[in-house]
Amino acid sequence: MTGRRKNHHHLPDRVYINRGWHFYVDDAGKWHKLGKIWDRSAKERWLELSEGKSADGTVAKLLDDFLEECEGLVRAGKRAKRTYDDNEVEARALKLVLGRTAAHLLTSRHVKSYLNKRNDKDGRPAPVRANREIALLSSAYAWAMGRDKWPKIALNPCYGVRRNAEAPRREYVQTQQLVCFGKIAPDWMRRYVLLKRITGLRQGDLLRLTPANITDRGLELVTGKTRKRMRFRWSWGLRVVIDSIVASQGDVKKLALFPARHGGRMSSQGFKAAWARAMTEFVASGGVKFRENDIRAKTASDASSLARAQEILGHDESSTTARHYRRGVAKITPLR
C-alpha cells in the first residue's frame, strides 16, 4: 500500500483514511477497503473484519442465527452432525456473495443470479453446490419468518426460484473395485467397506455405531438423518463382518466400532481425510476412483428388487431409491 496514511481519532483502531478511502489493516498487515464514507456499510464491514461478527439485519447474521438454532438441534440429537458441518461450509460460501445484503431486501433475482453464477475455487461452474447452498438459505428464511428477532422478513426470496438441473450420479462400483481397494486400504477401512456393502448405511450412522448397537437380534440403530429405527437381523455375512470388527479391537473396550486413534468416536473430517489418503493410493496403483457414497448405491443396485433396495436404505419414498441409488444395468426377465 503506497501513499500517506493518516489516523483519525474518531475512527476505531487500525482504521485509516488513505487517498480519500477508509481502510482496515488486519493483523497480517493486509489493507481492506471499507468505503469513502464512514457510514453504516463501512462500519458493518469493519465489524466483520475486526471481530468476525456479522452485522445485524444482514443475510450473514440470519445464517449465523439459523446455524446457532441447528447447533442446538444437533446437541439434542434431532439433527445429524454431518448435516450441520455441511451447512457451515455452505453458509460460508453464501456469506461471501450475499452476506452483507440486508436480509429483508434480498430478492428472487439475487437468488437466481447466485444459482447462475456460482463457481468453485478453480473458476468452474458449480450448479449442484449452488443448489445445496440456496436450499440452506431457503431453510434459514423459512425459520426466520414470524420470529420477533426478524420482524422485517415476511417473504422467502428462494420460493418459486427454479434450481439448477441435476443429473443423478450413474457411476456403479464393481465388486472387483471394492476387493482391490480393500487390499490397499487400512484394515479398519476394509471392514468399514464390507459393513457398508452389506447394510447400505450412511457414513454418519456407521461412524456412530457402538458395541451397544450389537444385540442378540441383530445390528440395531436409530438413523441420524431420518431418526428411523432399524434392525439388521443376523445373517452369515453380517455376523462375519461384525465378529471381525469386534475381534480387531482386542480386549480394549472401545466407544465406537470404528474409533479414532485416541479411542473416541471418529469424526466425519477424520474419516474424510483417511478415505482421501487410501483412495489416492488406490488410484496410484491403477484403480478407478469412486466415492464412499457409491457403496451405498451399489447396495441398492445389487438388491433383488426396488422394494428390497428401499427397505435396506430406509427410504420412505421408492422414487428416491430409484432415481439416486439404483444404478448399473437393469436385470429384466423377457416376456417370453
Residue 300 vs residues 5, 91, 292: alpha-carbon distances, Å:
65, 32, 14
pLDDT at 66: 96
Residue 2 pLDDT class (50, 70, 90 cuts): very low
| Stated length of the chain | 336
pLDDT at 33: 84
Q: Where are the beta strands (DSSP E) in 29-147?
A: 31-35
pLDDT at 1: 44
**Range in 9-13, 93-97, 104-108, 165-169 the model is least confident about:** 9-13
Residue 253 pLDDT class (50, 70, 90 cuts): low
**Range in 31-35, 88-92, 255-259, 315-319 the model is least confident about:** 31-35
Average pLDDT taken over every residue of the chain: 88
Per the CB < 8 A criterion, the answer to whether 51 and 59 are in contact is: no
Half-sphere exposure of 258 (CA within 13 A, CB side): 26
3-state secondary structure of 102: strand
pTM metric for this prediction: 0.71
Per the CB < 8 A criterion, the answer to whether 195 and 177 are in contact is: no
pLDDT at 94: 93
Strands 214-215 and 218-222, sheet pairing: antiparallel
pLDDT at 79: 82
Average pLDDT for 8-29 = 80
pLDDT at 251: 67
Q: Does 6 have pLDDT greater than 80? A: no
309-315-321-325 Cα dihedral, nearest 10 degrees: -80
pLDDT at 26: 76
Higher-confidence position of 248 and 1: 248
Name the strand (E) or helix (H) holding 91.
helix 81-98
C-alpha cell at 175: 465388486
DSSP letter (8 states) at residue 213 = G
Q: Does 3 have pLDDT greater than 50? A: no
d(CA 238, CA 232): 8
Tens of pLDDT, residues 81-140 = 888 889 988 998 898 889 888 999 999 999 999 999 998 877 888 999 999 999 999 999
Residue 18 pLDDT class (50, 70, 90 cuts): confident
Higher-confidence position of 38 and 296: 296
Q: Where are the beta strands (DSSP E) in the chain?
A: 6-7, 15-18, 21-25, 31-35, 214-215, 218-222, 229-233
Max mean pLDDT among 34-38, 120-124, 179-183 falls in 179-183
pLDDT at 8: 60
Residue 7 pLDDT class (50, 70, 90 cuts): low
C-alpha cell at 177: 473395485
pLDDT at 252: 63
d(CA 56, CA 328): 50
Average pLDDT for 325-334 = 79
pLDDT at 172: 93
**Range in 22-36, 65-79, 275-289 the model is least confident about:** 22-36
d(CA 204, CA 81): 8
Q: Does 235 have pLDDT greater than 80? A: yes
Give the Cα-Cα-Cα angle 234, 330, 181 (nearest 5 degrees).
Answer: 60
pLDDT at 4: 46
